[in-house]
Amino acid sequence: MLSEIRHLVFDLDGTIYRGKTLFPYTLASLELLESCGITYTYLTNNSSISAKDYVQKIRRLGLRCQKENLYTSSLATIDFLRNNYPNVSSIYLLGTESLKTEFIEAGYHVFSDEESDEPDAVAVAFDTTLTYAKLCKTAWWVKQGKPYLATHPDIVCPTDLPTILVDCGAVCDCIASVTNRRPDRVCGKPDRLMIDGIVQKYGLKPNEIGMVGDRLYTDIEMARRAGIIGILVLSGEATQNDLEKIVQKPDFVFDTIFDLAREIKQTKRSLS
Ligand SMILES: [Mg+2]
């Protein structure tokens, strides 16, 4: 029931904006939702920068965003480490400087390339500054049996540029081929971890939170795994044709988030 929703979780690319351009209806949609008393979180698997830097990126697009409005796969990884590996205090991180800062601010010692001491755990992210030496060292610590986490499973990061942005999942595939080991947990979408974190933070029941996104196999799959409301928008990747082919349908389908916001406004109005 749309009328019961109190919080929405938004995927970004294909849902809120495309590439570097905000959809023309995004601001109006968010204002409509706010007028219904609905709070929201932006969700991203992109772990190439810290949440702090991501907030700036979202603001540059023209959206209002505070740190509490954003949950990233790297924050989910840090939360997972805290909750499940309380004895881990040092990390070998395959990630950018921005991400390294995030782990340090969360209280972890992050190894520099020069250090040779044993880390307690290994984490692999979307490292756009990846070097051969870092990749080899990561594989080494994985091979030594350290707890091994990946921020998210994406193989490539979408781009309009004439290149392929090799993402976290592909790097994990590479590590698997030399160590015969997959990550102990892959924290981003479609794993339910990120939703669980938000549900806990806001004290929500499953019928009070909806996941809104443009991809069936990540956004909608995550909603299914977490047992929350799955809302597909057709403003990005998934098409009507894709939708007809799948067995597990999303709970709701809208062309855009504006259609969703308008529908929520109407159902809330008709109830009041
Ligand atoms: Mg998307």
Q: Are residues 159 and 242 in the same domain?
A: no
CA distance 68 to 43: 11
- Map residue 32 onto helix, strand or coil: helix
Instruction: Please check whether residue 50 is in contact with residue 74, taking contact to mean a CB–CB distance below 8 angstroms.
Output: yes
Residue 156 confidence (pLDDT) above 80: yes
Residue 107 lies in a domain: yes
pLDDT the model gives residue 40: 96
Percent of the chain surpassing pLDDT 70? 100
Task: Give pTM, 2 decimals.
Answer: 0.91
Q: Which residues are in the CB-under-5-Å shell of ion ligand 1?
A: 11, 13-14, 214
Domain count along the chain: 2
Residue 58 lies in a domain: no
The domain boundary, picked from 125, 159, 186, lies at 186
Q: Are residues 225 and 160 in the same domain?
A: no
Report pLDDT digits (tens) over 240-268: 999 999 988 999 999 999 999 999 999 98
Domain that holds residue 199: 2-45+189-271
Q: Residue range 105-111: average pLDDT?
A: 97
Residue 159 confidence (pLDDT) above 90: no
- Measured CA distances, 129 to 89, 97, 112, 250 (Å): 24, 8, 14, 37
Q: What distance in angstroms lies between residue 21's CA and the mean position of ligand 1's atoms?
A: 13
Task: Say which CATH number the domain at 263 has.
Answer: 3.40.50.1000
Q: Are residues 26 and 95 in the same domain?
A: no
Q: What distance in angstroms lies between residue 219's CA and the mean position of ligand 1's atoms?
A: 8
Tokens of 62: 């023209």
Residue 13 confidence (pLDDT) above 80: yes
Q: Are residues 212 and 174 in the same domain?
A: no
pLDDT the model gives residue 199: 93
Which of 94-103, 136-145, 155-164 has the least mean pLDDT? 155-164
Strand partners, 92: 122
Could you tell me the sign of the dihedral formed by the alpha carbons of 56, 156, 8, 257, in that order? positive
Q: Residue range 210-221: average pLDDT?
A: 96
The domain boundary, picked from 132, 157, 186, lies at 186
What is the layout of strands, in order, in the sheet containing 148-150? 109-110, 90-94, 121-124, 148-150, 185-186
Q: What distance in angstroms lies between residue 200's CA and the mean position of ligand 1's atoms?
A: 24
Residue 111 lies in a domain: yes
The domain boundary, picked from 156, 186, 216, lies at 186
Q: What distance in angstroms lies between residue 45's CA and the mean position of ligand 1's atoms?
A: 10
